[in-house]
Amino acid sequence: MKATQKLHELGQSIWLDNITRDLLTTGTLKRYIDEMSVTGLTSNPTIFDSALKSGAAYDAAIRDKRRRARSHEELFFDLALEDITRAADLLRATYERTCGVDGFVSLEVSPLLAHDAKATLAQAKELAARAGRPNLLIKIPGTVEGLRAIEEAIFAGVSINVTLLFSPEQYIAAAEAYLRGIERRIAEGLAPSVTSVASLFVSRWDVAVMGKVPDSLINQLGIAVARRTYKAYCDLIATPRYLRAMNAGARPQRLLLASTGTKDPKASDILYVKALAAPQTVNTMPEGTLRAFADHGEVGEPMPADGGDCEAVLGRFENAGIDVDALAVRLQDEGADAFVKSWNDLLAVTASKSAALEKTG
């Protein structure tokens, strides 16, 4: 039995953190679903940017759509929705088999709208409607400005992947925004079964402190933060408030472990996957990490619901001069800025591809 299947049977969903047209047309994504227990997929602007740059897979679609699109952003969403809906259709059987718990794909709203909750909500609703798939999650950053849009989107019945979370505090804020939206639906007599996941970024913690801590602490910070956040997740979904919502038909907003590809070339290529196994969670893996785990992975002991030794490990980082709380804020701010840069790069690539193809007819 492959390690991916063992991880799935433990209760952790495996999602692929990648999408390209070639993954769809070559049957690779279907093979990952059939052979590696993949039950979902996430995307982001950087992934689409790389896909557009990598070859001619999108050229025919760009030629077909460029004149009808009113902007480069609209052209991008036309292209992305083609890929996302095809992936959603491949995962529809998973969605149906799990009664809507799993089988989701994710598409991000424009990060340029990050400070405009009303515009973010409008775009989230528009993208969900255009896709027309029940197993689509719209990604909204869990920044202070994004929390209002997340609550309003959940209240509007739009399934949301809250992205760009780095700490238990940021996770709790996002989870409460989700819960407020659900409670408002219950109060209005609306169905509360709106799906959401909360995405905690892991490996960026270790990149941020590389060279700043003793060797004995290398590649331990991300795992310790994830364990602390998992404890916060387990504690929250057991509260009377959460249980009341679930009793009315709501589902837990699952914790998603993101950025789980190993960045340190000296470390194990399955470091974070092995360390972050946990039931009723999701691990979204880069393609290389997925293949590595399927090939030689090991399913470690599940993360302890009480956080295990996370507080002791985090204490050692504090003693080494790392202000973990301040770093969480910095990582989210830098992540938001990086999202904007990636988005602008993506639109520039879309524009240049469109212009080049127009010249060649």
Distance CA 43, CA 39 (A): 14
Enumerate the active-site residues. 139
199: phi then psi, degrees, rounded to nearest 5: -95, 115
Residue 150's Cβ-count burial label (10 Å; 0-12, 13-18, 19+) is buried
Distance CA 9, CA 347 (A): 40
Distance CA 45, CA 39 (A): 21
The set of residues, in sequence order, having a beta carbon less than 8 Å from that of 203 and lying 6+ positions away, is 222, 259, 260, 261, 262, 263, 272
- Of 285, 355, 356, 287, whose CA–CA distance to 51 is shortest? 287
DSSP 8-state class, residue 270:
T
Distance CA 277, CA 202 (A): 13
- Of 72, 20, 74, whose CA–CA distance to 44 is shortest? 20
Distance CA 22, CA 271 (A): 28
- DSSP H helices, 218-286, are 221-237, 240-247, 271-275
CB–CB of 43/86 below 8 Å?
Answer: no
